[in-house]
Structure 1
Amino acid sequence: MMKKMIFTSSLMWSLTLFAQGKAEQALKIFEEKYPQEKIHLLFDKKSYVAGENLWFKSFIYTGYEPTSVSTSLFVELYDSNKTLLDKKMIPLLNGEGNGNFALPENMKENVYYIRAYTTWSTNFSEEFQAIRSVEVYNPSSPEKLMIDTASGWNVTLHPESGTFIDQINTKFAVRLHSKGQKPLNWKGYITELARPDVKLTSFKGFDENIGSFKLTPELGKKYQLTVEDDKGKKQTVDLPEVISAGINLQMESSPEAIKYSLVSKNMGTESQTYTILGTINDQIVYKAKLNTLSDKIYTIPTEKLVNGILQLSIFNEKDDLLLQRMCFIQPKHLQVKKAELSKISFNGASRSQNIFNITNSIDSPNYTVLVLNGDSKSTEDENSFLSTLLLTGDISTDLESPARYFRKDSDADALDAVLISEKWKRYDWKMIMAGSYPMIKNKTEPYISYKGKVTLSGKPAANTDLNLIFSMPDNGTKFYQIKTDQSGFFALHGLMFEDSIKFSYQLNDPKIPKEQVQVIFQPNYSYIPLRGALPRSYYTLQPRTPEDQTSPEVIKYTEAKNMYKVINEKATLIEEVKIIKQKKNLTKKLNDELSSLTFKNSNEVIFDFVNDINAGSYMNILDYLQGRVAGLQMQKQGFDVTATFRGAPISIFLDEMPASPSQISSLPSSDVAMIKVIRGYFVGGTGGNTNGAIAIYTKRGGVSGNIDNSSKPTNLKQITLKGYDKEIAFSNPDYSNESFKNISKDTRTVLYWNPFLEIQPKEPVKVEFYNNDETKDYRVIIIGYDSNSFLPVYYDNVLKP
């Protein structure tokens, strides 16, 4: 993706390319050492009633690629007083994670907030952590939520590139701000203070956020903006003072190019050189020098640039930042891959089955799929995956429904006006050019990490072997040996487990009494308190009266909540699901029997040769993996096979011992019990391996690391470590099963939720769900990314039977 962003300036504009300057060097350091993460949250619904489950999916990106920096996400639930109500820690696989919050039955009706952040993101401004508001309704609550229409609004003015110069036609952005609901319809006009009855120019607001106008000022005159909403409320704002000399940077985005010019007046006759840097995220994609100022229009072709915010920064010979301006690259030609649906079988009848396939023409590891009633609202309506990735993930701003700027009917002029009114906040040129970079206080760790200290009779056990004996549910008992340092410390990195794990410990010397050995553990991660304020809310609380009627939406949510109780208490799986589940359980059981804790990773692909696969036709067992794992490549040279994952060599293990391809080539396929492809960091990696592994387990190899005497750990000291928070499974009724026939009323608005629909190569991706009693149309939302180009995959459409 980064290669696609790079644009090399040529000499076609008579601009001189130059050596790397101070600003470019500073940004290169920032890009390499301080990658910036964007966090997007998708909820299964936009609002809830007390007692429901709130399911969420997270997407974390650095630039325009799934993050490779963080492997854990912290998600917190706050009330409107900033009281922390609940918190979760979830694993990230290719930058994605999912979980849920169980909302208490007695939760008061109010606006609540979901905050998501990584350890790495806490080193930077809290503005770029994800904080999303969510309305929770409760008809039994003494107060009710009402949209705030009473709060006033105010106006701010933003001249293009920040200058307002005599006789230079200048574009202004007009921005509305409010603690409550902003007016949708509003307009404005410009007058001279000396002639208030003469309108120099008029305009209408594009939307609740922004409007724009152009004005050519005269020196010595003062101007005023008057804004009026559809209710007759007015506000006046003075325009900046007109200056006699300066430069105005003007930009325009077209499908073919970004056009810019430096329009100046009274800048003197002294020779001056201006440096122009164009940046996307933290990368310089354009650079040039100007030796003279003129009204000439320069162009930056967009064919090699990705969609996103391009910022032009103008420096003088002293490296002083003079001007900045942002614009969006090809806003009407988004480079987004759209999921294609096939074999659509929709039936509008009550409780009927619906099926569609997602055409597997995109190299994506998985999709997030959400199916709602056709008229249902989603959190994607306000801030979508695309608007986070392309706008609000980099511009911390108070915008009403920024998702609007990336729909088919979006207004490119409105988006341009938004960017005129904003500043790039990921870094400050003056700070980084002065060598002042963010202070990294919180270092990221791979998945779950613990640090520990071993003492023997109260003194540090230096350079000592410690045996950890793990007991995991349905996973038997296994051991892992570690060595302390000179101070008795050790660390466990890259652990991947849910809920908790119990283990016993002892020194490797059995002669040392266990009473003399003490091990203290401390997690290498922590929840970081929120320092800043919560975002504003569009709602206020008012006393509930006996005459108040519960809204139809809340009634449906309540009925659906009660229906889910019936499902969870009485539902039984049909025989086909039992078979599928049994098959999956057999594979899980095999993986648990064969894999030690250090070779477990949630980002793994398992091939079960005991219960599922017949590999008898493969001479070399590595041949079987070709084309079956995205990013994994096998290359043959004679009888040898070498393996790479996303271009880098990947380690090979046989029964969890390092092995060479020649060893594997002589292994009969009939002896293979399981192959596991681990993608990314794992504890069992050697030599700092972070690219993953191919782990092959033989039938004769047995269980690696098993303890023959399962009662032995009970005689040792024990301790429990906390793992990731386990998600409550999302369930839906299966009306092909008689057990669901007793459901009296089905008013679900969420018909299907799968935050991690895994894709198997060369196999159709099928989605199946059942109607409620009312749905006629279906809103289908699909989110993913292409593993090759890293272009986003996005689909949000309403489909009819």
Structure 2
Amino acid sequence: MTKKMIFVLGILMVSCGLSAQSKAEKALTTFSEKYPQEKIHLVFNKNSFVSGENLWLKSFVFSGYELSPTSTSMFVELYDSNKTQISKKILPLINGQGSGSFTLPENLKEGVYYIRAYTAWMSNFSEDFQTLRQFVVYNPSSPQKLVLNDTSEWSASVFPESGTFVEGINTKFAVRLQSKGIPPSEWSGYIVDAEKPDLKLTSFKGFDQNVGAFSLTPKAGIKYQLIVNDAKGNQRVINLPHVSDSGINLQVSTGNEAVKFSLKSKNITPGTLYKIIGTINNQLVFKVNSEKIFEKTFSIPTQQLVNGILQLTLFDDKENIVAQRLTFVQPGLLRIKKPEVLLSNLDESPRAENTFSITPNLNNSAYTVLVMDGSLESSEDENSLLSTLWLTGDIPSKIYTPSQYFKPNHNPEALDALLISEKWKRFDWRNMMAGTFPIISYQPQPYISYKGKVTIQGKPAPNTDLNLLFEIPEQGTRLSQVKTDDNGFFNLKGLIFEDALKFSYQLNDPKIPKEQVQVIFQPDYSFVPLKKALPESIYHLVQRIENDQPAESVKRSVATKNAQNNINEKATLIEEVRLKARKVDKTKELNDKLSSPLFKSLNENIFDFVNDNNSAQGFTNILQWLQGRVAGLTIEFSMGNYTPKLRGSRVNIYLDEMMVDPSLINSISVSDIAMVKVIKDYFAGGFGGASGAIAIYTKRGGITGSLSDATTSTKLKKTVLHGFDKETSFVNPDYNDENFKNISEDLRTTLYWNPYLETSSDESKIKFFNNDDAKNFRLIIMGFDTKDYIPIYYNEIVK
């Protein structure tokens, strides 16, 4: 995206006359390079919930109009409507995407709740750009119930194009509605002279529940008023701005081929040189600085720009801001890649098996796939991936159903009017040109990071080696050595693990008793308190009357919860039976338990010393035993040490996946070794991109077999680090399995949920089972093409 915009910038600046960077341009360059902006889109597995249910979410973190490379962790918090925090989690981000879940408490009262999502980097900027998503939780036993606020008062505001209203210049206005509840769906307005209220000068009809537009050529001395009426007869009277006898109006028209603009002026100071700067995503894409700026219409070609908000700013020769205007690039030609979906077998019968497949996109690592009962709403109905990417992620004001502006039948005029009523708030020109930039208090840390401090008898231990023995579930024990700095501190960065990570520690110096050593850890990240108020909701609570019967939609939600709980119980029992019956190759099981994904290869020789002693007891060095046992591997003996070579080239040795010197192997008893593997090709954990290795794993972490000193781990001090919050597994029933046949009622809303459906060279296939009454299905498929910087999006009801 950046390369595209810089290329266009070069063409347009040359055509308009190249000049040295001004104060505004230098400030913009600094802001763009040092302060990249992130925004988050959240997708929920459904639109409303019942207390006690699980809420699953998927996140897309963007930097501008591409997936963000900045953050690798995301903070997610759950609030009630009183801003009381109920739960919080930290989730990993892989290539700008993450997923997680919340278990809603059984005693949660009925009401509107909020999910807040942000990164550490986002905490340096305005909270207005953090994500706050509302959702509804029903609870029929709660003393109060939710009702839609469809009778709330509404207000209207009026905005002249570019912010100026000058005598004799035809000016376009946007009219914006706001309401604590639901804005009127049908409304209209007209303009009058305040002294002649019965004479309509012009009239219009609202585009949608947010905005409408009209044009007017003002005359001096007239006080104009806007009269707005809704379908229920409610009326609002708004005064238009004072008509100025001098000034400049920036007029913009946006099409698929170009953004065109011109300047209309009256009574301005002669000889003043003006310039216009165009920016997208805080980057300069257009500049014109011409003495003939009032004599022509300028055109910005859009074919090499991305969809997004273009800000045009008019400066005078002292770099004062004269006029500003936001518009959307190619509103009628949205660049969206629609995945090819092959609907091979769809059956609307109750509990029928359904399948479809998605043709892979090689520039998209994974799809997010959601299948719902087609009669129900999704979280994408209100604010979609497209509207977050292109609108609400950068425009924090309240917009009713922003997803409507990017649907196939959207109205480009409505989006343009909406942007007339907005201002770009990611930065302030005046502050930037004055040298005032955001204060960076939070740096993004790689994944989970911790700070540690080592003390001996309460005093810092500077420049000291500390051994850490990590107990990794299903992978055994990993040894790591760190060195403290001059003040006894050290850092652990880039840890990727869920729940808790147990480990033991001791100083490398055996002369210092363990009782004198203490290691204190603290996370190198922090949740940041929410300062702003929660947004208003279109719902409000009323007292539940005695014997009140829940709405049919709520009854269905309760039934859905019960069905899903039943399905989860069945799935758990089935999995337990499968685990007991499963026959696993013991050596493969050992390799899976000891080897991390980084130390696995398709071309490896494994020697199992837990399930087979391999006649190694007579050898004092495992490298000596390996001689002649692997084709291409030779072991050379020199100066009392064994040196392995693979196909004539020296290879590295790893002890519990940490690279060590061959001399260290002399001290490892063969009886303490659980497994050895010779990797013959490149592998991800190779130091410096090395090809080939010998990996030696010791009998630790619950491996069958005994250590030379079985009490070693108990002698060391232990502690626990907390990692990413574990996501609850989403369970889909399989009605081909007899165990699911006795589920009495299935009214599930979400029929399939997969936040990471990996793409491959073959078609990605999805199987799901219908509930008891769905007659069609809503398919939502999302991703992002990282080569063309284009969202991948599919949201359709299919039969």
TM-score between both structures, scaled by the size of structure 1: 0.87
SS across alignment from 1:702: strand
SS across alignment from 2:25: helix
Aligned-pair CA distance for 1:292? 3.4
1:196 is aligned to 2:188: no
Name 1:455's counterpart in structure 2: 455
Q: Is the 8 A contact 1:173 1:210 kept in 2?
A: yes
1:122 is aligned to 2:123: yes
Name 1:702's counterpart in structure 2: 696
Name 1:21's counterpart in structure 2: 22
Aligned-pair CA distance for 1:462? 0.8
Name 1:645's counterpart in structure 2: none
Name 1:481's counterpart in structure 2: 481
Distance in 2 (CA, whole Å) between partners of 1:430 and 1:12 is 23
Aligned-pair CA distance for 1:674? 8.8
Name 1:439's counterpart in structure 2: 439
1:672 is aligned to 2:673: no
Q: Is the 8 A contact 2:74 2:119 kept in 1?
A: yes
SS across alignment from 1:29: helix
Distance in 1 (CA, whole Å) between partners of 2:65 and 2:589 is 34
Distance in 1 (CA, whole Å) between partners of 2:586 and 2:174 is 59
SS across alignment from 1:296: coil
Q: Is the 8 A contact 1:374 1:798 kept in 2?
A: yes
Distance in 2 (CA, whole Å) between partners of 1:671 and 1:751 is 45
SS across alignment from 2:413: helix
Aligned-pair CA distance for 1:28? 0.8
Distance in 1 (CA, whole Å) between partners of 2:590 and 2:779 is 35
SS across alignment from 2:16: coil
Q: Is the 8 A contact 1:759 1:765 kept in 2?
A: yes
Percent of aligned pairs with the same residue? Answer: 51
Name 1:563's counterpart in structure 2: 563
Residue deviations 1:150-203 (CA, integer Å, cap 9, x gap): 320111110000000001000000000111111010000000011110000000
Aligned-pair CA distance for 1:343? 5.1
Distance in 1 (CA, whole Å) between partners of 2:684 and 2:699 is 19
Aligned-pair CA distance for 1:712? 1.5
Aligned-pair CA distance for 1:49? 0.8
Superposed, 1:277-296 pairs within 5 Å as: 277-294=277-294, 296=296
Aligned-pair CA distance for 1:314? 1.2
Code of the residue aligned with 1:751 in structure 2: it is L
Unaligned runs of 5+ in 1: 613-618, 621-638, 641-651, 660-669, 679-683, 686-692
Name 2:152's counterpart in structure 1: 151
SS across alignment from 1:381: coil
Q: Is the 8 A contact 2:678 2:695 kept in 1?
A: no
Distance in 2 (CA, whole Å) between partners of 1:433 and 1:323 is 17
Higher-Rg structure is 2
Q: 1:290 to 1:332 in 2, by over 3 A?
A: same
Aligned-pair CA distance for 1:722? 0.7
Q: 1:215 to 1:704 in 2, by over 3 A?
A: farther
Aligned-pair CA distance for 1:701? 2.3
Q: Is the 8 A contact 2:164 2:249 kept in 1?
A: yes
Name 1:4's counterpart in structure 2: 4
SS across alignment from 2:332: coil
Q: 1:550 to 1:345 in 2, by over 3 A?
A: same
Distance in 2 (CA, whole Å) between partners of 1:416 and 1:390 is 13
Q: Is the 8 A contact 2:335 2:790 kept in 1?
A: yes
Aligned-pair CA distance for 1:457? 1.5
Distance in 2 (CA, whole Å) between partners of 1:322 and 1:580 is 76
Aligned-pair CA distance for 1:581? 9.6
SS across alignment from 1:718: strand
Aligned-pair CA distance for 1:19? 1.5
Distance in 2 (CA, whole Å) between partners of 1:12 and 1:457 is 67
Aligned-pair CA distance for 1:21? 1.3
Residue deviations 1:512-539 (CA, integer Å, cap 9, x gap): 1001111111111111110000011111
Residue deviations 1:342-393 (CA, integer Å, cap 9, x gap): 2521111111111111011442100100000112101111110000000111
Q: Is the 8 A contact 1:653 1:695 kept in 2?
A: no
Superposed, 1:756-795 pairs within 5 Å as: 756-760=756-760, 762-795=761-794
Unaligned runs of 5+ in 2: 607-630, 633-646, 661-676, 702-706
Q: 1:387 to 1:11 in 2, by over 3 A?
A: closer
Distance in 2 (CA, whole Å) between partners of 1:407 and 1:581 is 49
Residue deviations 1:375-424 (CA, integer Å, cap 9, x gap): 21011111100000001111111100000000011010000011000010
Distance in 2 (CA, whole Å) between partners of 1:697 and 1:508 is 30
TM-score between both structures, scaled by the size of structure 2: 0.87
1:534 is aligned to 2:541: no
Aligned residues: 736
Code of the residue aligned with 2:792 in structure 1: it is V
SS across alignment from 1:8: helix
Distance in 1 (CA, whole Å) between partners of 2:144 and 2:440 is 44
Distance in 1 (CA, whole Å) between partners of 2:239 and 2:64 is 38
Code of the residue aligned with 1:173 in structure 2: it is A
Q: Is the 8 A contact 2:121 2:442 kept in 1?
A: yes
Distance in 2 (CA, whole Å) between partners of 1:694 and 1:783 is 34
Distance in 1 (CA, whole Å) between partners of 2:582 and 2:36 is 41
Q: 1:107 to 1:675 in 2, by over 3 A?
A: farther
Code of the residue aligned with 2:780 in structure 1: it is I
Name 2:725's counterpart in structure 1: 725
Q: Is the 8 A contact 1:18 1:288 kept in 2?
A: no
Distance in 1 (CA, whole Å) between partners of 2:166 and 2:581 is 72
Distance in 2 (CA, whole Å) between partners of 1:416 and 1:214 is 14
Name 1:108's counterpart in structure 2: 109
Aligned-pair CA distance for 1:605? 11
Aligned-pair CA distance for 1:580? 14
Distance in 1 (CA, whole Å) between partners of 2:755 and 2:585 is 19
Q: 1:579 to 1:190 in 2, by over 3 A?
A: farther
Q: Is the 8 A contact 2:360 2:764 kept in 1?
A: yes
Distance in 1 (CA, whole Å) between partners of 2:753 and 2:149 is 32
Distance in 1 (CA, whole Å) between partners of 2:207 and 2:798 is 29
Name 1:509's counterpart in structure 2: 509
Code of the residue aligned with 2:131 in structure 1: it is A
Distance in 2 (CA, whole Å) between partners of 1:322 and 1:24 is 16
Q: 1:406 to 1:362 in 2, by over 3 A?
A: farther
SS across alignment from 2:754: strand
After superposing the two structures, state which structure 1 stretch, 520-529 or 585-594, moved more. 585-594
Residue deviations 1:685-723 (CA, integer Å, cap 9, x gap): 8xxxxxxx867675x523389685564221111111111
Code of the residue aligned with 1:401 in structure 2: it is T
Name 1:493's counterpart in structure 2: 493
After superposing the two structures, state which structure 1 stretch, 355-364 or 766-775, moved more. 355-364
Distance in 2 (CA, whole Å) between partners of 1:369 and 1:675 is 33
Superposed, 1:157-196 pairs within 5 Å as: 157-196=158-197
Residue deviations 1:600-624 (CA, integer Å, cap 9, x gap): 7xxx796555799xxxxxx99xxxx
Q: 1:84 to 1:12 in 2, by over 3 A?
A: closer
Name 1:67's counterpart in structure 2: 68
Aligned-pair CA distance for 1:245? 0.6
Distance in 1 (CA, whole Å) between partners of 2:132 and 2:56 is 15
Residue deviations 1:451-497 (CA, integer Å, cap 9, x gap): 11111122111100000111122222221100001111111111111
Q: 1:137 to 1:696 in 2, by over 3 A?
A: farther
SS across alignment from 1:200: strand
Name 2:325's counterpart in structure 1: 325
Q: 1:542 to 1:12 in 2, by over 3 A?
A: closer
Distance in 2 (CA, whole Å) between partners of 1:696 and 1:172 is 66
Q: Is the 8 A contact 1:474 1:589 kept in 2?
A: no
Distance in 2 (CA, whole Å) between partners of 1:267 and 1:458 is 74
SS across alignment from 1:390: helix
1:796 is aligned to 2:791: no
Name 2:219's counterpart in structure 1: 218
Distance in 2 (CA, whole Å) between partners of 1:139 and 1:59 is 34
Distance in 1 (CA, whole Å) between partners of 2:369 and 2:528 is 31
Q: 1:416 to 1:44 in 2, by over 3 A?
A: same
After superposing the two structures, state which structure 1 stretch, 467-476 or 84-93, moved more. 467-476
Aligned-pair CA distance for 1:291? 1.1
Residue deviations 1:540-583 (CA, integer Å, cap 9, x gap): 10111235332222222211211222222233448998799989
Q: Is the 8 A contact 2:470 2:504 kept in 1?
A: yes
Q: Is the 8 A contact 2:44 2:379 kept in 1?
A: yes
Distance in 2 (CA, whole Å) between partners of 1:12 and 1:445 is 38
Distance in 1 (CA, whole Å) between partners of 2:131 and 2:730 is 23
